[in-house]
């Protein structure tokens, strides 16, 4: 059975784009030498996800986002809620491994590739920009509202049946910009020749990127950060099952935590 540190090493050792000294891809809490034959893969290690791991008898949790609501998860600066969560992790013998910097740019199956495949945009981007974070996919021309409806239909399966759209719904679009979660910059997509951008709520600010794009006539479709990265979590679980001998991964969907109330 592999150890928690072996899981980290598998990914980090295969990525020449990651600075091994500062990457957040490491054991974030628990025993680095924990041996496990099963792991739970989930986008965010929420307390609900940790309880699910315990219920399934799984002690190793592989996650993409922070455990303690800070990108670097600095244990010396934990809030009371963070200390309580750390105690919960330790009391239940859990170990948290974060796979973020590596999977954001992992070719063919990492976050942006998995997101594009989920949206039905294809397997190979027309072009890649900004350190492999942002991709352009070309599709058959369609109206903005038709395309946005298609995106919403796909996202409904992830708990987000409604997407936010700016722009003229009758405008024709065919060059789609997508990215890695919060690394979805409208400026970059426009430089790549995209005529519509799909961004996340953690990556684009209304008064800045989205407002400027609106005034420039560039449509934007905005989804929840977790929605855009959920397909990548499914592909991560699949990758672990196919490439890490002795370790079986179970994917726990995070799903969009927002509800639309009208």
Nearest alpha carbon to residue 6 among 29, 25, 33, 28: 33
- Predicted confidence at residue 36, as pLDDT, reads 97
d(CA 258, CA 224): 8
CA-CA-CA-CA dihedral for 238, 117, 149, 65, to nearest 10: 50
d(CA 251, CA 229): 13
Residues 129-139 have pLDDT tens digits of 877 889 999 99
Report whether pLDDT(3) > 80: yes
- Predicted confidence at residue 233, as pLDDT, reads 98
- Predicted confidence at residue 259, as pLDDT, reads 86
- Alpha-carbon distance values, 240 to 41, 53, 198 (Å): 9, 17, 28
Tokens at 140, concatenated: 């058959």
Sign of the C-alpha dihedral, residues 205, 208, 213, 215? positive
- Predicted confidence at residue 132, as pLDDT, reads 81
Residues 107-130 have pLDDT tens digits of 999 999 999 999 999 989 999 887
CATH of domain 4-102: 3.40.1390.30
- Predicted confidence at residue 66, as pLDDT, reads 97
d(CA 203, CA 224): 10
What's the chain's average pLDDT? 95
Q: Kindly state the percentage of the chain with pLDDT values over 70.
A: 100
88: Cβ contacts below 8 Å, ≥ 6 apart: 47, 50
What class does CATH assign to 111-225? alpha beta
- Predicted confidence at residue 227, as pLDDT, reads 96
Residues 37-75 have pLDDT tens digits of 999 999 999 999 999 999 999 999 999 999 999 999 999
Domains 4-102 and 111-225 fall in the same CATH topology: yes
Q: pLDDT confidence of 262, banded at 50, 70, 90?
A: confident
- Predicted confidence at residue 164, as pLDDT, reads 96
3-state secondary structure the chain: CCEHHHHHHHHHCCCCCCCCCCCCCCEEECCCCCECCEEEEECCCCHHHHHHHHHCCCCEEEECCCCCCCCCCCHHHCCHHHHHHHHHHHHCCCEEEECCCCCCCCCCCCHHHHHHHHCCCCCCCCEEECCCCEEEEEEEEEEHHHHHHHHHHHHHHHCCCCCEEECCCCCEEEEEEEEECCECCHHHHHHCCCCEEEEECCCCCHHHHHHHHHHCCCCEEEECHHHHHHHHHHHHHHHHHHHCCCCEEEECCCCCCCCCCC
Q: Where are the domains of the chain?
A: 4-102, 111-225
Q: pLDDT confidence of 181, banded at 50, 70, 90?
A: confident
Report whether pLDDT(261) > 80: yes
- Predicted confidence at residue 96, as pLDDT, reads 98
Residues 190-232 have pLDDT tens digits of 999 999 999 999 988 899 999 999 999 999 999 999 999 999 9
Question: Cα-flanking dihedrals φ and ψ of residue 39, to 5°?
Answer: -145, 155
- Predicted confidence at residue 182, as pLDDT, reads 87
pTM: 0.95
Tokens at 220, concatenated: 């934007």
- Predicted confidence at residue 258, as pLDDT, reads 87
């Amino acid at each position: 059975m592999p150890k928690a540190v072996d899981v980290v090493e598998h990914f980090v050792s295969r990525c020449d784009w990651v600075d091994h000294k500062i990457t957040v891809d490491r054991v974030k809490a628990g025993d680095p030498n924990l041996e496990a034959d099963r792991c739970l893969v989930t986008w965010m290690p929420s307390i609900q996800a940790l309880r699910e791991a315990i219920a399934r008898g799984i002690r190793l949790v592989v996650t993409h986002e922070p455990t303690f609501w800070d990108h670097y998860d600095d244990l010396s600066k934990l809030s009371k809620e963070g200390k309580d969560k750390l105690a919960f992790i330790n009391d239940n013998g859990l170990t948290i491994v974060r796979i973020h910097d590596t999977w954001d740019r992992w070719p063919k199956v990492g976050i942006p590739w998995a997101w594009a495949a989920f949206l039905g945009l294809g397997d190979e981007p027309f072009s890649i920009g900004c350190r492999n974070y942002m991709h352009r996919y070309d599709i058959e021309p369609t109206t903005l509202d038709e395309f946005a409806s298609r995106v919403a239909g796909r996202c409904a399966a992830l708990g987000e049946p409604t997407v936010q759209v700016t722009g003229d719904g009758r405008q024709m679009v065919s060059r789609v910009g997508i990215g890695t979660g919060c690394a979805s910059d409208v400026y970059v997509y426009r430089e790549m020749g995209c005529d519509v951008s799909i961004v996340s709520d953690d990556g684009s600010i209304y008064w800045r990127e989205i407002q400027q794009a609106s005034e420039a006539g560039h449509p934007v479709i905005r989804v929840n950060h977790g929605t855009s990265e959920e397909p990548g979590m499914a592909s991560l679980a699949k990758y672990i099952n196919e490439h890490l001998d002795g370790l079986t991964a179970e994917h726990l969907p995070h799903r969009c935590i927002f509800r639309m109330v009208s």
